[in-house]
């Protein structure tokens, strides 16, 4: 079956059952609960026609065999409720498509011996699939089943191309439902609205978003280099009361980033539509020179390329020596091979910065998630070495840097 035929799921089945006094249903549950028949839109405890004082319990034929096969202590408990082997009988049920769970439907129609449709992401009313090749002939059936069975789902899409490294979106095919891609999700006490077909959103990063928000001190500063629609920036401003500079190159992401700032009624968020390197080099220096006492965090969540943008920090404050040193923590993401993930991540960062990172400068190195069996997404959080920021441009002659001592007492906070 490659096109869903709901009529094929209509069948008559016989299941074991037991009649019991209504007042004893609750008392019998310690024994019967694990045996109850569990199907969609089918109550396992039903009324007995013509007798309000009795109830019928429908049991799973796979789990329950006979009264005699029950443990002795369970038999004793049922005997105390006036139940014995003669209390059990068989009941004929008329089942239809709506009675079967998603897994039951897929098991009935998808190829045996191969991985089924075991995982998907939900983004508001949208289900996002990444189907393997052997499931593609069944894609429309899979989509329709998900629309039928999952409450609130109106659209099912399948990823049909790799993620574009420039704007971080991808081509998708609608398998079932409406071609409506504007959706809303709630995460970290915030509401996010966006067009899923035009921006990047990964619900599996919810935990990582929360981890970063918890790392941010209250009223600190966040520079979000690849902000997307704001999963770091908006809760940072709303929950942690941070001063936020949020940037994304994708015009659609920038549009929805601004919309989410408005939707969540957050203040102290400046938004930008710039290349990440340009954002770092143009927007950070003025702030670093005027508000140096606040903890500053920089998020760089573009795993395919983020490490390459770290060179923007080299010489960012060239020719200036700050007193005191700035407290800047960078959270950068990258994909690494499983076998050498942690050493590879550190080596990548040090190579991009052209500077070593001391152990005490590392805040944490986190394995965020498995992308594939041999590919991991990692985050290295580290305090950027001051020498990286103040390094003189290579073409300039070496000279004593002009010293800029900041009068902290007179700074406008």
- Per the annotation, binding residues for S-adenosyl-L-methionine are 209, 248-249, 275-276, 301
Retrieve residue 49's tokens.
């026609």
Query: DSSP states of 92-134 as a string?
Result: EEEE-GGGS-HHHHHHHHSPTTS--S---EEETTEEEE---GG
Which residues, including other chains, have CB under 8 Å from residue 217's CB and lie 6 or more apart?
Answer: 240, 295
Quote the DSSP letter at residue 275: -
Residue 257 phi/psi, 5° resolution? -60, -50
Torsion of CA 336, 276, 168, 197, to 10 degrees: 150
Q: How many CB atoms lie within 10 A of CB 254?
A: 21
Retrieve residue 115's tokens.
């991985």
- Residues of the binding site: 209, 248-249, 275-276, 301
Q: Are strands 320-323 and 402-405 parallel, antiparallel or unpaired?
A: parallel
Q: How many CB atoms lie within 10 A of CB 387?
A: 11
Cα–Cα distance, 328 to 294 (Å, whole number): 9
Alpha-carbon Rg for the chain, nearest whole angstrom, is 30
How far the first Cα of the chain sits from its last, in Å, is: 66
Question: Which of 210, 175, 144 lies closest to 366 in space, CA to CA?
Answer: 210
C-alpha separations of 201 from 90, 162, 231, 233, 296 in Å: 50, 14, 9, 14, 25
Residue 78, Ramachandran bin (φ over 0: left; ψ between -120 and 50: alpha; else beta):
alpha
Question: Nearest-5° angle of CA 340, CA 308, CA 388?
Answer: 100
Retrieve residue 214's tokens.
């918890």
C-alpha separations of 306 from 54, 118, 361 in Å: 67, 31, 19
Q: How many residues does the chain have?
A: 413
CB neighbour class for 173 (10 Å; exposed up to 12, middle 13-18, buried from 19): middle
- Burial annotation 74-89 (CB, 10 A radius, 16+ → b, else e): bbebbeebebeeeebe
């Amino acid at each position: 079956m490659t096109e869903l035929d709901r009529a094929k799921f209509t069948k008559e089945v016989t299941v074991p059952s037991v009649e019991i006094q209504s007042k004893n249903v609750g008392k019998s549950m310690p024994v019967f609960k694990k045996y109850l028949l569990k199907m969609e839109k089918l109550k396992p405890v039903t009324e007995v026609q013509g007798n309000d004082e009795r109830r019928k319990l429908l049991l799973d034929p796979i789990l329950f065999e006979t009264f005699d096969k029950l443990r002795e202590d369970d038999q004793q408990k049922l005997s105390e409720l006036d139940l014995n082997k003669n209390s059990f009988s068989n009941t004929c049920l008329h089942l239809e498509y709506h009675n079967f769970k998603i897994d039951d439907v897929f098991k009935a129609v998808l190829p045996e011996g191969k991985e089924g449709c075991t995982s998907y992401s939900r983004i508001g009313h949208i289900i996002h699939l990444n189907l393997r090749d052997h499931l593609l002939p069944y894609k429309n059936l899979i989509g329709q089943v998900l629309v039928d069975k999952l409450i609130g789902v109106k659209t099912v899409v399948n990823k049909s191309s790799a993620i574009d490294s420039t704007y971080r979106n991808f081509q998708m095919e609608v398998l079932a439902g409406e071609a409506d891609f504007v959706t809303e999700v709630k995460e970290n006490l915030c509401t996010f609205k966006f067009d899923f077909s035009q921006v990047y959103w990964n619900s599996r990063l919810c935990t990582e978003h929360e981890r970063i928000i918890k790392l941010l001190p209250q009223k600190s500063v966040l520079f979000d280099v690849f902000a997307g629609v704001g999963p770091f920036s908006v809760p940072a401003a709303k929950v942690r009361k941070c001063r936020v500079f949020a940037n994304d190159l994708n015009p659609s992401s920038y549009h929805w980033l601004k919309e989410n700032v408005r939707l969540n009624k957050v203040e102290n968020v400046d938004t930008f539509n710039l290349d990440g390197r340009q954002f770092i080099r143009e927007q950070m220096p003025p702030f670093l020179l005027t508000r140096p006492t606040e903890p500053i965090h920089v998020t760089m969540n573009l795993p395919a390329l983020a490490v390459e943008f770290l060179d923007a920090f080299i010489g960012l404050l060239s020719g200036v020596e700050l007193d005191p040193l700035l407290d800047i923590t960078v959270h950068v993401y990258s994909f690494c091979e499983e076998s050498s993930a942690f050493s590879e991540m550190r080596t990548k960062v040090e190579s991009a910065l052209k500077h070593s990172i001391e152990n005490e400068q590392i805040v944490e190195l986190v394995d965020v998630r498995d992308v594939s069996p041999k590919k991991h997404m990692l985050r290295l959080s580290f305090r950027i070495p001051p020498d990286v920021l103040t390094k003189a441009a290579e073409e300039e002659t070496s000279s004593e840097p002009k010293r800029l001592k900041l009068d902290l007492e007179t700074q406008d906070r």
